[in-house]
Amino acid sequence: MTSTDSTPGPDPAPFISCVTAQNPSPMTLAGTNTYLIGAPGSESLTLVDPGPAETAEAHLDAVRTAAQGRRIELILLTHRHEDHAGAVELFHEATGAPVRAHLPELCRAATPLTDGERLVVADTVILALHTPGHTSDSCCFQVPSAGSDGAILTGDTILGSGTSMLDHPDGRLVDYLASLARLRAEGDATVLPGHGPALDSVAQAANEYLEHRRARVRQVREALADLGDDAAHVTAARLAERIYPDVDERVAAVAEMTVAAHLDYVRSSTS
């Protein structure tokens, strides 16, 4: 992943606005994108991903400004990582809004999300899609009314720049490939990612991600073939040094986790 200053902008799609938390890094790009969803004229909004604990109070003020007096009726989480969910307690207490996520332990005054669940909040329909891979609990949120082709909030399943990591062993490549194929079938819906700028087509983005992951699988297979008898004992750390020889030290551990997910996939598919 590479750093970028780009964000989706304040109004990336009809019915949806964005406020980016001030937590830029090589992993979070310009920062974590918090989205507010609600039809024009609605007195309330749905909030997706309150962001990290470190910037929670300032970010809450920025979100309230963007809400323009409208009440936060529901908080949704794309997944468990701290840069997306760290501020959930503060936002829940400050707004009184229930919190829903795939994992029960992340929910507040509400039940976990189910795959394909249809939510109607702030006069807007939101479809919850369970899309594991980045993490086992990752979800995307589809807003069919947001433009002619709709929009999909993808969390870290698809980023606005670069590629995402797999939090192995919780995140599994076999799940990720299936989730990307599912998103590819959604056509030209706008991608509103957890980090980075909006993308024009979820089908195009998902297809590029699939090609990238398949290329990494081929690299792992080739590396194992080159190692011969040592292949059965090679570690993800050793493969990561080969596949990512010039990796930024700040994301070296993440690169190793992602390689571990590919190595597990290759070994499982040949066992």
The CATH number assigned to the domain holding 189 equals: 3.60.15.10
User: What CA–CA distance (Å, rounded) separates 17 from 67?
Assistant: 9
Q: What is the pLDDT of residue 147?
A: 87
Higher-pLDDT residue of 228 and 18 is 18
Identify whether residues 184 and 71 lie together within a single domain: yes
Identify whether residues 242 and 111 lie together within a single domain: no
Q: Which two tokens stand for residue 156?
A: 């870290």
pTM for this predicted structure: 0.94
Q: What is the pLDDT of residue 77?
A: 99
Identify whether residues 197 and 171 lie together within a single domain: yes
User: What CA–CA distance (Å, rounded) separates 47 from 90?
Assistant: 13
pLDDT surpassing 80 at residue 224: yes
Identify whether residues 22 and 79 lie together within a single domain: yes
pLDDT surpassing 60 at residue 3: no
User: What CA–CA distance (Å, rounded) separates 79 from 235?
Assistant: 28
Q: How far is CA 76 from CA 3, 164, 246, in A?
A: 26, 20, 37
pLDDT surpassing 90 at residue 5: no
Task: Give pLDDT tens digits for 39-95.
Answer: 999 999 999 999 999 999 999 999 999 999 999 999 999 999 999 999 999 999 999
Higher-pLDDT residue of 107 and 224 is 107
User: What CA–CA distance (Å, rounded) separates 154 from 13?
Assistant: 14
